[in-house]
Amino acid sequence: MILHVDMDAFYASVEERDRPELQGQPVIVGGTPEGRGVVAAANYVVRKYGVHSAMATAEALRKCPNAVVLRPRMDHYVRISRQIREIFNRYTPVVEPLSLDEAFLDATGSVRLFGPVEAIGRAVKKDIRDELQLVASVGVAPNKFLAKLASDLEKPDGFTVIAPDAVQAVLEPLPVTRIWGVGKATKQKFDGLGIRTIGDLGNLSLQQLQNSFGKIGQHFWELARGIDERQVVADREAKSVSHETTFGQDVRDGDVLRAWLMELTEQVAGRMRRNNVQGRTVNLKVRYGNFDTITRSKSLPQSTNATNVLWSVVSEMLDYQLTHRSPIVRLLGMGVSNLQRPSSVQQSLFAEVQHERDTKLDEVADQIRRRFGTTSLRRGSTVQHDAEHKPLPRPE
């Protein structure tokens, strides 16, 4: 059984905890309404007005004019996220973080110490509440897809268990949009086929779904039956590191997209350095306004975690996309795969001097951010998109 732990309105909940006078008020954590400020988190009071994360702050204030808008304190949220991770690690070392506020846990190997996985989930939830005065929703299920689904069924402050023999009973009444990968365009296609629920989807054969949706048809067929073979992968065992962000409104400005991509690259490179890994393959993901999605990859002659090296490669791939297609972009992502430890990396003599220079520069930048906060040092290009206000990337 797998656990999915998801903090409820994380940034907003932290602010309410730290400032009790905000409790009961509609609270938005995000950028200013001017420019492209977006909602990073919305508490449950303001959500009643239709406000949600990744929405433009200006639109959010039109829906709820009396909302309190607070600028994010990312360094503060990062520290609290580490405290949450420490609680996870008490119960299992197999923790796969998805963002600052959610993670998968495989507690199978901890049952002898702490009892059934359900009991472990309740203990994690209680420790977070007692020690940090924050609320998490927890899902317990046979696999990652079902565990994440379970954690969302009774939010906020939810705790849901999907037993192996109850999977179909839980899935079938749910709307088909609960399936990973079903966005607006796919839902429209399902509507045309008369598919409204996961139960409706499960009535279609694999061949029917492949005929209608191609390769992703098998993905839909499996999830409709609660099948998900992916394992929980701890950071230390990850084969890739990536971040992506979905824009509240489609972005048409190439310079803004480059600025966002630089921010994503810095996040990925910093996470690689924290975990002492380097990678050889750089990956770009772009989802356009019509939901067409492209992924591009390029392998380097040697592995690296230097921000400048990764940026030079991924920015070139983005420039190619912007040159050959109108930049109406909904989602942008960047990642690095083919990871290995630095001790196993052979540097070429030609590149060694430049790589050493880039590495030292990154080390100094990392030290400054650790001491003074994540927004204390930023490259000039990231200023254009008000980078510190964006929601952390989350899987779709």
The residues that are catalytic are: 102
**For residues 294 and 318, is the Cβ–Cβ distance under 8 A?**
no
Nearest to 391 by CA among 255, 275, 235, 267: 267
Residues 6+ apart with CB under 8 A from 38: 30, 31, 54, 55, 56, 57, 247, 248, 389, 390, 391
Q: What is d(CA 362, CA 256) in angstroms, rounded to the nearest whole number?
A: 23
- Placement of tokens 């480059």 in the chain: 258
**For residues 346 and 280, is the Cβ–Cβ distance under 8 A?**
no
Residue 340 pairs in a beta bridge with 278
Q: What is d(CA 311, CA 309) in angstroms, rounded to the nearest whole number?
A: 5
Task: Give the DSSP per-residue string, 111-153.
Answer: HHHH-SHHHHHHHHHHHHHHHH---EEEEEESSHHHHHHHHHH
Q: What is d(CA 160, CA 141) in angstroms, rounded to the nearest whole number?
A: 9
